[in-house]
Amino acid sequence: MANKILIVDDEINVRKMLAKLLEKKYEVDDAKDGVEAVEKLNSGSFGLVISDIQMPRMNGFVLLKEIKATYMALPVILITGYGNIEDAVKAIKLGACDYVTKPFNNDEILFIIEKCLSGVKDHLEAVSMKQCMSLFEVFQKEKETADPDKLLEMILNKSLETINASSGSIMLLKEKERVLEVVVSLGLKKKIDRFIPVGERIAGQLFKEGVPAILHNGLKQYEKFRDIKARSEIFSSMIIPLKNQGKIVGTMNFNRLNTFPYKFTELELNTMELFASYIVTILIQLVAQRKSVELDKLKTEFLGNVSHELRTPLMSIKGAIELMQNSVDKDTEKTLMGIMARNSDRLDRLVQDLLDFSKMGSGTMAYNFQDTAPGGLINELRDEFQNRFKTKNIRFLMDIPENLPLIRADAGRIKQVVSNLLTNAYKFTPENGTVELSVSDEDKKILIKVKDSGIGIPKAEQEQIFERFYQVDGSTTRTAEGTGLGLTITRLIVEAHKGKIRVESDGVPGSGTEFTVLLPKK
């Protein structure tokens, strides 16, 4: 990003002359006095200010004090036609980068501007490089043994230190879901959403546009962000797209809070763009390493769950057989036969899930696509689930219109999708709750919805529940049975039909969950 220079002088000819001199190399804006300059600084981002001293309303010294009270790294050059040694000393004491008198030589002013910009830039880059070198050393030494989360925290912490930011986060793109995932965050008291859809919110929009930005004083002054609720504790923000091999892969987001009221500057932004380019490869490696650790953990949980799910019905069947080996009456025998039948069905479902998952993983799952009436095949599940829901006194409501358009589908697999969703609703809805199943025709899609009044799904878990091996509660001590494959299989079947599945839940316990399957019409 080119440095933008603000020229402040009450003489229009001086402003025009300086603008003509500088605009070949820099982006230029101007203000007629200190008051207008403050307004422009509040609404824009600049790399340097050149200001006259003698001006109406607000002179250059007062403007310099205002700038230094608000910006940590914004160089200021003072110019006057009434200069004397006292003014020069005062300017330097107040924090001016340099001081020149009118009339000035063009080469002289260009030299001073370049010197001031380079001085601040060199200082920031030296700090940035020092932090980067420290990170590289730690990464090389500990990348095989250290906790990826701790290394990610260290990277963010070093980033915050580099530009004296109070809080921040690093987000990386999940390509398939088209969402930005917060891989690490520090400093904000209020919890932030873990996933931000591309194109939404501030980070999502700037990621999509591929441009960095500095935002000050809330969001009302920025047209494209004014409908987003600003955090009152944030004084200034900086968002930087992360680029790897020419492709944008995420964002780094930094804030200064009201407790440290200094605005970010263009020079700081340029420095952090450089910093980000150095450390982006480390970030990607660490996130890949963390995902590998998470997958290993999920696989371990999955194997434990499968063992548990196999053992439980087998123990029930074994116990029933042992009792039947003794002489029992007809009623007891019937009860024990029922136990064996239910647990055999449970084992059959488990084995079928494992086989389906294996076939889907290897790409050998076969589908029998035919013109199918969605209402008819879903109605076939009515009796089975009505009886099951009665065991918990759950109200089961169905809304399936007649004469729905046909879909091109494998009827058995679509029934499996709906059955999986209804089974989930049964598991997680308490007694006396409600489950609703509806089908509707909307635009070019058939929508199948399963809504329950159950325990709900935390917001942070909603993007992950369709991933393989994942369960909101993955322990073998959980109350709901299952391997965690049901929703993964459901998603894969829906995607094989060129459809989509989504989940909505407030994330509040007892708020319920709604799954929506979207299938293309024939």
Preceding omega of 103 cis (within 30 degrees of 0):
yes
Identify whether 360 is part of a domain. no
Give yes or no: residues 511 and 476 share one domain. yes
Identify the CATH number of the domain in which residue 408 sits.
3.30.565.10
Domain count, the chain: 3
Give 284's Cβ-side CA count (13 Å radius): 16
Residue 448, pLDDT above cutoff 90: yes
Give yes or no: residues 94 and 136 share one domain. no
Read off the pLDDT band of 274 (50, 70, 90).
confident
Give yes or no: residues 96 and 134 share one domain. no
Question: Which of 290, 314, 329 is the endpoint of a domain?
Answer: 290
Give yes or no: residues 179 and 281 share one domain. yes
Q: What is the pTM of this model?
A: 0.56
Read off the pLDDT band of 475 (50, 70, 90).
very low
Identify whether 113 is part of a domain. no
Residue 352, pLDDT above cutoff 90: no
What is the pLDDT at residue 476?
37
Question: Which of 290, 317, 341 is the endpoint of a domain?
Answer: 290
Residue 221, pLDDT above cutoff 60: yes
The CA distance from 29 to 484, in Å, is 59
Give yes or no: residues 61 and 165 share one domain. no
Token couple for 254:
């930094």
Token couple for 36:
């207008």
Range of the domain at 421: 366-520
Give yes or no: residues 457 and 503 share one domain. yes
Percent of the chain with pLDDT over 70: 81
Identify whether 497 is part of a domain. yes
Read off the pLDDT band of 470 (50, 70, 90).
low
Identify the CATH number of the domain in which residue 50 sits.
3.40.50.2300
Give yes or no: residues 263 and 412 share one domain. no
What is the pLDDT at residue 297?
61
Identify whether 336 is part of a domain. no
Identify whether 217 is part of a domain. yes
What's the whole-number mean pLDDT along residues 317-330? 67
The CA distance from 486 to 469, in Å, is 9
Identify whether 252 is part of a domain. yes
* Mean pLDDT of all residues belonging to the chain: 81
The CA distance from 146 to 162, in Å, is 23
Read off the pLDDT band of 307 (50, 70, 90).
low
Q: What angle do CA 427, 430, 343 make, to 5 degrees?
A: 35
Lowest mean pLDDT among 142-156, 186-200, 427-441, 464-478: 464-478
Give yes or no: residues 131 and 77 share one domain. no
Residue in the structure block whose two tokens are 């420290």: 134
Identify whether 51 is part of a domain. yes
Residue 474, pLDDT above cutoff 50: no
Lowest mean pLDDT among 98-107, 138-147, 233-242, 477-486: 477-486
